[in-house]
């Protein structure tokens, strides 16, 4: 999705100088912008540092008095030079941030896991004074490498810092290009940046914070149908011939005679009172089979035991791949997960839809979802299933298949829901799951090695088999293991 040209990535730190360029991507126009720059409103948290102290003034006064008393022209000239240099350095430092612009830009703001994008840093000096030295410390995500450069982790703020050094002439613009490797899923923030500069004599320093922030979204990796080991035709299992008779309770077609199998909610009380006989609502069949992806971010039967990041990432990739397949089959697809978005305490939820941007919305939610489980997956299934129309399909993606989850799936299947289970566990469920299509995908996680600390925790809990939980043996189900034929 995001690719950089080989010629650019081969020279990541090359400067591109442009003399006489007074235009910027977002210039401040007119005298109003100039006044705001002089007042320092474009930068935040302005601070000054200086090597100049009262000792310099005392030295100048001493040289002046000595020159007058001794009638020495050399001492008077030295004192005058000292005062002139100090005044010029102070003025230069005061104007050091004026007309100084810093901008970062990406070749793409969205990328898939494993791709690379090009990051361009641009600095322009739009004034008659040169910038002899400039240090820029920008906030970068520490998890995304930038070529061979080092993104230093600030232990106090737990943020990555990327430092560059520049030197610009009068009305000069410089560019440097870097290659960012997207090796971790998520929403990654860039900025703000702290600019440090000063006069050319090194007597005064000045700092300003540029509050511009940008975001880079890294989607999870997507698998093909062949990589998942699913059948190319009807990957979600054969549909029952009766499914076209499923009714949508939100679409009333009229009334009909009451039948003993009808519940109280189906009775049309107004029509019953009018015609003096028991009548029930008649519903239209579902217009299209909807698909709801249910993602379990937990990697242990008890989500408070912790999580295995690599295993959770594979489950997220499977969920994204199934969403892409649903969109390709033109099925309305939605997503719920027991993880939550940063800054929220509610489960992730997106209702099924046919919008052209539905897949983008799902991938963005999967890119942002965190590992903290808000509730057990069984509770989420029981709360979300009643909101779907009849005939909908539940695609449950989980790294584990524990007893409580399987019992919930059997309960939903018994209530007339179509359920398909995708599990990354080491073993397929050892409990019979009649009516439920099971895809066992251990080949996607064979390269993951569980840390010894996790193995010890699981041994103590007694809830899991190795690091992929199994179930108490009851009856061997008919599952579609690895390549579901």
Q: Is residue 159 part of a domain?
A: yes
Tell whether 350 and 380 lie within a shared domain: yes
Q: Is residue 332 part of a domain?
A: yes
CA angle 448-451-453, nearest 5°?
A: 155
Tell whether 234 and 302 lie within a shared domain: yes
Q: Is residue 90 part of a domain?
A: yes
Q: Is residue 11 part of a domain?
A: yes
- DSSP type of residue 214: E
Distance, CA of 293 to CA of 409 (rounded, Å): 14
Q: What is the pLDDT along the chain (485 residues), one digit of tens a residue?
A: 444 343 333 333 344 444 444 334 444 456 666 666 655 566 665 565 555 556 667 777 787 888 888 888 888 888 888 888 888 888 888 888 999 999 999 999 999 999 999 999 999 999 999 999 999 999 999 999 998 777 999 888 889 999 999 999 999 999 999 999 999 999 999 999 999 998 888 888 889 999 899 999 999 999 999 999 988 777 876 554 444 445 667 667 788 898 888 888 888 899 999 899 999 988 766 555 789 999 999 998 876 777 889 999 999 999 999 999 999 988 899 999 998 887 777 778 999 988 889 999 999 999 999 888 888 999 999 998 888 877 789 999 999 999 999 999 999 999 888 999 999 988 888 788 999 999 999 999 888 755 444 444 444 334 333 333 333 333 334 444 443 33
Tell whether 328 and 262 lie within a shared domain: no
Tell whether 235 and 215 lie within a shared domain: no
Torsion of CA 315, 318, 319, 320, to 10 degrees: 120
**Which CATH number does the domain housing residue 68 bear?**
2.60.40.10
**Which CATH number does the domain housing residue 370 bear?**
3.40.50
Tell whether 153 and 211 lie within a shared domain: yes
Query: Which 3-state string (H, E, C) describes 285-314?
Result: ECCCCCEEEEECCCCCCCHHHCCCHHHHHH
Tell whether 149 and 187 lie within a shared domain: yes
Number of domains in the chain: 3
- Residue 175: name the closest of 25, 2, 6 by CA: 25
Q: Is residue 96 part of a domain?
A: yes
Tell whether 253 and 234 lie within a shared domain: no
Torsion of CA 321, 324, 326, 330, to 10 degrees: -170
Tell whether 390 and 413 lie within a shared domain: yes
* Cis peptide upstream of residue 192 (ω within 30 degrees of 0): yes
Tokens in use for 98? 């004026």
Tell whether 294 and 369 lie within a shared domain: yes
Chain length of the chain: 485
Tell whether 139 and 273 lie within a shared domain: no
Q: Is residue 1 part of a domain?
A: no
Domain containing residue 107: 6-219
């Amino acid at each position: 999705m995001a690719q950089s040209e080989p010629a650019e990535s081969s020279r990541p730190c090359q400067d591109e100088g442009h003399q006489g360029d007074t235009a910027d991507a977002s210039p401040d126009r007119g005298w109003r912008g100039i006044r705001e720059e002089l007042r320092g409103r474009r930068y935040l948290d302005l601070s000054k540092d200086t090597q100049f102290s009262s000792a310099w003034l005392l030295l100048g006064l001493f040289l002046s008095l000595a020159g007058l008393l001794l009638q020495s022209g050399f001492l008077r000239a030295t004192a005058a030079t000292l005062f002139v240099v100090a005044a010029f350095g102070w003025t230069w430092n005061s104007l050091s941030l004026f007309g100084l612009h810093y901008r970062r830009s990406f070749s793409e703001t969205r990328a898939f896991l494993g791709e690379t994008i090009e990051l361009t840093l641009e600095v322009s000096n739009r004034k008659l004074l040169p910038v002899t030295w400039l240090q820029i410390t920008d906030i970068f995500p520490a998890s995304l490498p930038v070529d061979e450069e080092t993104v230093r982790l600030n232990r106090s703020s737990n943020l990555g810092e990327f430092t560059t050094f520049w030197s610009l002439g009068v009305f000069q613009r410089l560019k440097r290009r870097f290659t960012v490797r997207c090796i971790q899923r998520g929403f990654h923030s860039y900025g703000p940046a702290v600019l440090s500069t000063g006069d050319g004599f090194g007597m005064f320093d000045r700092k300003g914070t540029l509050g511009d922030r940008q975001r880079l979204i890294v989607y999870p990796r997507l698998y093909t149908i062949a990589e998942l080991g699913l059948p190319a035709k009807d990957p979600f299992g054969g549909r029952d011939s009766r499914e076209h008779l499923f009714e949508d309770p939100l679409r009333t077609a009229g009334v009909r005679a009451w039948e003993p199998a009808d519940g109280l909610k189906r009775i049309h009380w107004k029509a019953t009172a009018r015609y003096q006989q028991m009548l029930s609502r008649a519903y239209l069949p579902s217009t299209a089979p909807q698909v709801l992806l249910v993602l379990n971010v937990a990697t242990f039967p008890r989500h408070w035991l912790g999580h295995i990041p690599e295993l959770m990432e594979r489950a997220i990739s499977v969920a994204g791949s199934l969403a892409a397949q649903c969109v390709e089959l033109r099925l309305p697809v939605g997503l719920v997960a027991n993880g939550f978005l940063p800054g929220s305490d509610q489960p992730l939820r997106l209702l099924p839809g046919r919008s052209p941007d539905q897949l983008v919305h799902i991938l963005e939610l999967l890119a942002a979802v965190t590992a903290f489980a808000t509730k057990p997956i069984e509770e989420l299934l029981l709360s979300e299933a009643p909101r779907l129309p009849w005939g909908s399909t539940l695609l449950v993606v989980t790294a584990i298949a524990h007893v409580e989850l399987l019992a919930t799936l059997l309960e939903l299947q018994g209530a007339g829901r179509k359920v398909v289970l995708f599990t990354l566990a080491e073993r397929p469920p050892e409990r019979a799951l009649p009516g439920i299509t099971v895809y066992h995908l251990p080949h996607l996680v064979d390269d993951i090695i569980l840390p010894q600390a996790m193995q010890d925790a699981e041994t103590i809990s007694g809830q899991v088999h190795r690091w992929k939980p199994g179930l108490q043996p009851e009856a061997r189900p008919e599952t579609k293991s690895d390549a579901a034929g």
